[in-house]
Amino acid sequence: MDAHTTVNQRLWDELAPLHAASDYYDVESFVQGAETLEDTEVREVGDVTGKRLAHLMCHFGMDSLSWARHGASVTGLDFSRQAVDIARTLATRTGVEAEFVCADVMAAADVLDGTFDVVFLSKGVMMWIESVSAWAQVCARLLKPGGVFYLLEFHPLAMVMSQTKDGLALQGSYFHSPDPEIVVSDGSYAVSEPGLAHQESREWTHSVGEIVTALVDAGIRIDFLHEFRAAENAFTTVSGTKVPTGTSLPAAFSVRGTRT
C-alpha cells in the first residue's frame, strides 16, 4: 500500500470496533435478522441466488452478510484487519456463511480466488480511491464475462455542497485532483469525538463522468446510470454525508454494468 492508503488504513482500523459498537450500526438488530441493504440495491442488483458476489471495501461485513442472506456466495474484502476480524465474528454469530479477506481494494484481483458473477460496492467508497481508472480495471478483472458490476454512491456534486444560512455553498472541486484532500477529524458519520489516536484521512473527489468512463474503458458495458434526489433514497440523509436535503440537487447515483 502507498502512504495515502496506509494513513487511511490506520484510521479505519481504529474506527471499525467503534462502529461495530455504535447505535448507528445497531449490530444486535442485525444479528436478529434486520436488513442493511437499501431497497434500491436489492432491486437494481437483482436476484443473487447461487451467484458468487464480491463485496469490495466491505467494512465489517453487514452488507456482505445481508447479500449472503439473499442467497449469494459472498466474499467481502476490506483493507482494515480490525474490520475483517469483526466481520468474521459477525458471520459466526449470525450463522451466515461468507468469506472475508483483508487486502487493499487495488490488490483484490490478485488476492481473491477466481472470478465473480457480481462485484458490488456501496456508500462512501469512491472518496478513498486515488486512481479510478486503475480501480475500474480491478473490478473488470474480478468479473466473469457477463458478470454484473454495481455501485451505489453519494453523488459527488452533493459531496462538495454544503447548506449554509444563505443557501447552498460549494466547498471544494467537483472534479478530480491527483492531490488528496487531507481531512482531520475526531470521529466519523457513526461516532462523535471518541478520542481517536489517528484522526487524519486522505480523500479524493471523482465526477460521475470520470467513474463511468473508467468503467467503460475497463470493458464494462453500462446498463444504466440513475441519479436520486435525497428523498428518493433513505441512506442519503444520514449524518456526515454533507448531502443538502430538500433541494433539487442529486444526492446519490447508481451505476450498473456488464462485463463484456
pLDDT value at 91 more than 50: yes
Residue 163 has pLDDT above 60, yes or no: no
pLDDT above 90: residue 159: no
Distance CA 14, CA 178 (A): 26
Question: Among positive and negative, which fits the CA dihedral 242, 243, 246, 249?
Answer: positive
Q: Which CATH architecture group holds 3-259?
A: 3-Layer(aba) Sandwich (3.40)
Bridge-based pairing of strands 181-184 and 200-203 is antiparallel
Q: How far is CA 38 from CA 76, 84, 149, 152, 232, in A?
A: 18, 22, 17, 9, 11
Per-chain mean pLDDT for the chain = 90
Helix ranges (DSSP H) in the chain: 3-20, 27-31, 39-45, 62-69, 81-94, 108-111, 132-142, 156-159, 208-217
Percent of the chain with pLDDT over 70: 87
Residue 104 grid coordinates: 487493499
Question: So what's the pLDDT on residue 238?
Answer: 33
Convert the pLDDT of each residue in 167-222 to its tens digit: 555 666 778 788 899 999 999 999 999 999 999 999 999 999 999 999 999 999 99
176 or 148: which leads in pLDDT: 148
pTM, two decimals, is 0.91
**132-142 and 208-217 are packed helices; what angle lies between their axes, rounded to 10 degrees?**
40
